[in-house]
Each structure stands twice: as structure tokens, then as C-alpha cells.
């Protein structure tokens, strides 16, 4: 008995000693960041009136790292705020420059923030594409399945990406614009009903169902019609989002649910079954067409609108024919080849729903919100729509018909594109998180060099976060970063001709879909469908956000460093950069409260 007791005690002591040694080592790394950076840089006391070159916020007690700042941020920001907004405040408050480290270990991650687009592209996403963060991989593997395109690495990712690339090319997506228009016209009908009833509703709920219907039709040729009725795939997927932990802080026990794994497992089984049924329907229809004695003529083949999954299956069969194993080729010839692709196709479809609906549904919400606040921007967009679609008398029906006749006409909407870009700069739905494992051998630690300063910074052992929201507020590229100024994206109209946005250094500054080989495969679809939807609704509808019975009719841009200077708790302030509809984390960044408000006919 005593032997067992002392054995357990020894194990606990050994574990405690190991943890303590690891903690001290990590804190010494923070102390030594200035020594890691070459050439050596001065350490100035915090806070400092002059430049502060040490690439991290100040530490109170070194043993706690930067945990004190987590408490400060949780107090200042409204409850539920997406953590990607935190870096902007820290960078401004402590004058940290374009590269800085924040260590919340052992309660949270060790982050390396990058606010410079050139550095992000050269060392993280494009010049070299670092592996995805294990934290992201764990989250998305549970949410989407282990063969999802976002977290796969190496050859497996390359093969899957190449299979789906043809279906998401701009040229192919343009052939599917009529599907987007028809689904959007249903949305317009529903908005007219809400305008007549003057009901308070959640705009993000409506735009989510709109965009999921579009994705279902374009990817699987499935008529989900979730805007008008409940659909099991949509409802099960939305339920899955609510089951995931909402990690808006650093404490590991936040939002803990003992039964969550079981709930997620049951939900995953149902969702995979439902998506599988739709996929099987498509596979059976394809097989029946291949076995049919009546083949479409050449003209029908060229004009037929094909879903993304059709082109993916074509690419998959070609891949197996040219580089597959004998077993894979035999399975394909026997008619079982498509079934071998089924698991990856199910996870891919869930990925497209997740990534696609988040970007477009939230962006539409924020565009309508901002256009109500900025009458000048709305008038300018309406003038452009009139110019492109035939004058002031053009209405929703005639605009829809014009887009069906000429799918590429939306590419003429230059100012609308600038509005979308500016909205995504202010309210990016997501960012990339990359990671290099810690190295015990100092000679194997990877560094990157900032050419502006000549300093080198360690990458190994850190979660690397070139946050889109942080880069989008880098004043060298985006002056007046909190303001809504779409013209900044039009070279001939920008009020900031000296900004670096239109220089070679700025080519990767706008990155809501990220850059490099791991960029978002659906970015063309997101931009096309957003432009189509806005072209149909901007002239006719005026959405007014409304929180707690208060209409949001005005807004004054303000940066968080100024907004939060008084130290007032975020739970009382409930704004971020002056916006009540700040971004919260629900799978991705979404408007708080799902953007409640009322819609009016103009």
C-alpha cells in the first residue's frame, strides 16, 4: 500500500518538475526574444513614449508570460468577441510593429502575430506554405471530417484540391450564374414579405439559408430550398455549429460540456448520412446517364450546366486512369470507382457549406448594414447599377434577366467590388493559422527576416497568425483603418495615393481568402454570388440593424485603442470600433446576434 502511495507521489512530483522546467524554458524564450532577433535591439521600459522594439507586450511577473493581457482583453471586449480582433489592440497599445509574440501557455496558445502582408506571404503562405495549426486541424476535423480539404496536408491535399479545382474555376462558375439568380430571387420575395410585415428578424439567418441553397445547387445540383422550408441537411449542419465549443478566451474549461463528444458524434452520423443520400442520388443519375442509349449531342453537352461534383468525378476518374493503382482502376471499371471517392466527397461538401456560407452570408449582412450608414456609398453603388443595367428604370426583374443573358456583366461593377472588398477588410470571416513544431536543437530553429529592419525572428514552436483583420488595419497599406472607404480599392479614386496598397508590396495586403497554394478554393464563387445578390437587392431594399430596440442609423469610425481608453468593461460598452454588430466566433466570424433588424422598401 505504502509502496503504491510513494510511487504515485513520485510520478506526480516528476510530472510537476517536468512541467516547471518546461514553463521556465518557455519564459526564458520570451526573455530572450530580443537576443534571438538579429541585430540586437534595445529594450525599452513599458509603457514607452518612444519606439518600442521588443517584439512582445510587457510581462508583469515573467512566470505568467502574457496571461495578464488575456484578462485585460476579456474585460475590454464585448462578451463573445472573436479573438482575431485582439491583436490589433495589443499592437497599437504597445507599439509592437509588424511582428510580435504573445504567449498564453499553458492555458492558451503561443502566437506569433504578423501584420505585414509581404512577410506573411513570403514566410508563411506563399514563398513557403507552412502546415496548418494543430488547433485548427483538431477543430475542423471534428467539425467537417478528417478528409476535409482545409486541414489535409501533402500529396493527399494536392490530389483532392486538383480534383475540385475545375468546378470552382471562374469560367465554369459563370455558367452557373442562372442558378444563383433564381435562388436570389426567392430571397428577394422573402425580403418583400418581411418589409410588408415590418418584422424584426435575424438577417444572418436568412442570408445563411440563401447561400447554403446556392452551394447545394452548384456543388451537388441539389434543390435544398431551405429558404422556404426546413431541410434536414441545413438544419443538422446549423445544429452542428451550435454544438462546437466557442473558444473566445484562453481558459481550457470555458464552454465545457461533458456530453459534447457524444452529441457531435451523433450529429456527424446524421449529417454524413443525409449528405451521402444526396451524393448517392447524384452518382446514380450520373451512372444512369452513362449507361443510357441516348447520349446528349455536342451542342447539349456544351450548354449543359454541370455541378461541381460532376467535374470533380471527371477529374477523379482521370486521376485514377493515369496514376491510380491496379486495384483502383479495376474498381472504377466495375462501377465502384465513384464509391471510393464518396468519403472525401462528403467531407468536401461539408467544407464547402461551412466555408462558403460563412463568407457570403456574413458579407451580405455587413454590406447592407454599412450601405444604410453611408448614404453616399449607397447612392454611388445604385448609380453604377443603373449605368451597367440600362438606366434608372432598371428593376430587380430586368437586372436578373440581364445577368442571365450576360453572365459576365457583373464584372463591370467596379465600385460594388470595391464595397465588397472594403467590407471584407473590416469584417473578415476567417484567417489562416500555421504552425512549426518546437525544436530542441537550436541549429534547427527556423527564422524569418524582416527586410525593413534586418531583424530575424524565430518561427519554430509558435502558432503563426497572419490575421487578415490585423493586416487589414496596417496603416501603411490602409490609412484610416477603422473607416469605411471603398474608394481605397480603386486606383483612380483612392484618397490615399501614397499608401502602399497599389505598390508591389501591397499585392497581398487584401487577403480575406488568404494567399498562396492553400488559398480558399471557393473565393471566385463567393465574389460572383455576392455581386449577383447585391445587384438584385441594393436598389430595392434598405436594411436597418436594430439591437435592444435601438436602430443603428449612424456610426463614427474609431480605433479600439481610442475606443477602449477609458477602461469601461466591454459587457457595458458592447461595441467594437463603434459597431454594435461586432464579430463573434460561431464556427467563423459572424455578426453578433445574427444581425437583427428590419428591412424596408426604398
Selection from 70, 79, 58, 56 nearest residue 105 by Cα: 70
State how far the Cα of 554 lies from the Cα of 233, in Å rounded to an integer. Answer: 38
Q: Report the pLDDT value the prediction gives residue 444, as an integer from 0 to 100.
A: 82
Contacts of 387 (CB under 8 A, 6+ apart): none
Per-domain boundaries in the chain: 2-134+433-506, 154-431+510-543
pLDDT at 365: 97
Question: Cα(first)–Cα(last) distance of the chain, in Å?
Answer: 82
Q: What pLDDT does 338 receive?
A: 58
- Low-confidence residues in the chain, pLDDT < 70: 1-2, 4-6, 8, 19-21, 23-24, 27, 31-54, 246-255, 290, 292-304, 323-340
Question: Which cell numbers hold the place of 297?
Answer: 449531342
In percent, how much of the chain has pLDDT > 70? 86
Quote the CATH superfamily of domain 154-431+510-543.
Cytochrome P450 (1.10.630.10)
Number of other residues whose CB lies within 10 A of the CB of residue 239: 13
pLDDT given for residue 513 in this prediction: 93
Q: CA–CA separation, 550 vs 576, rounded Å?
A: 17
Cα 475-481-484 angle, rounded to 5 deg: 145
CB 248 within 8 A of CB 401: no
3-class DSSP state for residue 259? coil
Task: Give a three-class secondary structure readout of 104-166.
Answer: CCCCCCEEEEECCHHHHHHHHHCCCCCCECHHHHHHHHHHHCCCCCCCCCHHHHHHHHHHHCH
Per-residue model confidence (pLDDT) at position 42: 38
Q: DSSP code of 410?
A: G
pLDDT of residue 38: 44
3-state secondary structure of 596: strand
Q: Which pLDDT value is given to residue 254?
A: 67
Determine contact, residues 474/509, Cβ cutoff 8 Å. yes
Q: Which residues pair with 114 in a beta bridge?
A: 99
Amino acid at each position: 500500500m505504502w509502496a503504491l502511495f510513494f510511487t504515485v507521489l513520485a510520478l506526480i512530483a516528476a510530472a510537476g518538475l517536468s512541467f516547471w522546467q518546461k514553463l521556465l524554458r518557455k519564459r526564458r524564450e520570451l526573455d530572450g526574444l530580443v537576443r534571438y532577433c538579429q541585430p540586437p535591439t534595445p529594450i525599452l521600459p513599458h509603457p514607452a513614449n518612444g519606439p518600442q522594439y521588443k517584439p512582445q507586450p510587457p510581462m508583469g511577473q515573467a512566470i505568467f508570460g502574457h496571461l495578464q493581457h488575456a484578462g485585460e482583453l476579456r474585460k475590454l471586449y464585448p462578451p463573445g468577441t472573436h479573438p482575431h480582433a485582439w491583436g490589433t489592440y495589443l499592437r497599437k497599445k504597445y507599439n509592437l510593429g509588424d511582428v510580435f509574440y504573445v504567449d498564453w501557455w499553458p492555458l492558451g496558445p503561443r502566437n506569433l502575430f504578423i501584420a505585414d502582408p509581404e512577410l506573411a506571404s513570403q514566410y508563411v503562405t506563399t514563398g513557403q506554405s507552412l502546415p496548418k495549426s494543430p488547433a485548427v486541424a483538431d477543430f475542423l476535423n471534428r467539425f467537417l471530417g478528417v478528409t476535409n480539404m482545409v486541414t489535409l496536408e501533402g500529396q493527399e491535399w494536392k490530389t483532392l484540391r486538383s480534383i475540385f479545382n475545375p468546378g470552382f474555376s471562374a469560367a465554369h462558375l459563370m455558367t452557373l450564374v442562372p442558378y444563383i439568380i433564381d435562388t436570389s430571387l426567392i430571397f428577394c420575395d422573402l425580403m418583400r414579405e418581411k418589409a410588408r410585415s415590418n418584422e424584426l428578424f435575424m438577417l444572418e439567418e436568412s442570408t445563411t439559408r440563401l447561400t447554403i441553397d446556392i452551394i447545394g445547387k452548384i456543388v451537388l445540383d441539389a434543390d435544398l430550398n431551405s429558404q422556404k422550408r426546413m431541410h434536414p441537411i441545413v438544419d443538422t449542419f446549423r445544429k452542428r455549429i451550435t454544438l462546437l465549443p466557442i473558444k473566445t478566451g484562453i481558459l481550457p474549461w470555458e464552454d465545457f460540456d461533458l456530453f459534447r463528444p457524444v452529441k457531435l458524434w451523433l450529429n456527424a452520423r446524421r449529417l454524413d448520412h443525409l449528405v451521402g443520400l444526396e451524393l448517392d442520388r447524384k452518382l446514380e443519375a450520373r451512372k444512369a446517364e452513362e449507361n443510357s442509349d441516348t447520349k446528349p449531342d455536342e451542342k447539349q453537352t456544351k450548354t449543359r450546366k454541370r455541378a461541381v461534383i460532376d467535374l470533380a468525378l471527371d477529374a477523379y476518374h482521370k486521376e485514377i486512369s493515369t496514376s491510380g493503382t491496379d486495384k483502383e482502376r479495376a474498381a472504377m471499371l466495375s462501377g465502384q470507382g465513384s464509391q471510393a471517392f464518396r468519403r472525401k466527397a462528403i467531407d468536401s461538401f461539408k467544407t464547402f457549406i461551412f466555408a462558403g456560407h460563412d463568407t457570403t452570408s456574413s458579407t451580405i449582412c455587413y454590406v447592407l448594414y454599412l450601405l444604410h450608414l453611408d448614404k453616399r456609398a449607397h447612392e454611388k453603388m445604385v448609380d453604377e447599377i443603373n449605368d451597367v443595367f440600362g438606366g434608372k428604370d432598371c428593376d430587380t426583374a430586368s437586372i436578373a434577366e440581364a445577368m442571365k443573358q450576360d453572365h459576365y456583366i457583373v464584372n463591370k461593377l467596379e465600385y460594388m467590388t470595391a464595397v465588397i472588398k472594403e467590407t471584407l477588410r473590416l469584417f473578415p470571416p476567417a484567417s489562416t493559422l500555421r504552425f512549426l513544431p518546437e525544436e530542441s536543437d537550436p541549429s534547427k530553429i527556423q527564422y524569418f527576416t524582416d527586410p525593413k529592419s534586418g531583424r530575424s525572428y524565430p518561427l519554430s514552436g509558435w502558432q503563426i497568425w497572419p490575421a487578415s483583420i490585423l493586416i487589414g488595419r496596417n496603416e501603411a497599406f490602409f490609412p484610416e483603418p477603422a473607416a469605411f472607404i471603398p474608394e481605397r480599392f480603386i486606383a483612380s479614386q483612392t484618397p490615399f495615393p501614397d499608401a502602399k496598397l497599389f505598390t508591389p508590396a501591397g499585392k497581398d495586403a487584401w487577403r480575406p481568402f488568404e494567399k498562396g497554394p492553400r488559398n480558399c478554393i471557393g473565393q471566385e464563387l463567393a465574389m460572383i454570388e455576392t455581386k449577383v445578390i447585391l445587384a438584385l437587392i441594393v436598389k430595392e431594399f434598405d436594411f436597418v440593424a436594430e439591437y435592444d430596440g435601438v436602430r443603428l442609423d449612424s456610426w463614427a469610425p474609431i480605433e479600439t485603442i481610442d475606443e477602449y481608453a477609458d477602461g469601461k468593461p466591454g459587457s457595458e460598452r458592447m461595441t467594437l470600433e463603434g459597431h454594435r454588430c461586432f464579430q463573434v466566433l460561431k464556427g467563423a466570424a459572424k455578426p453578433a446576434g445574427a444581425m437583427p433588424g428590419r428591412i424596408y422598401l426604398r
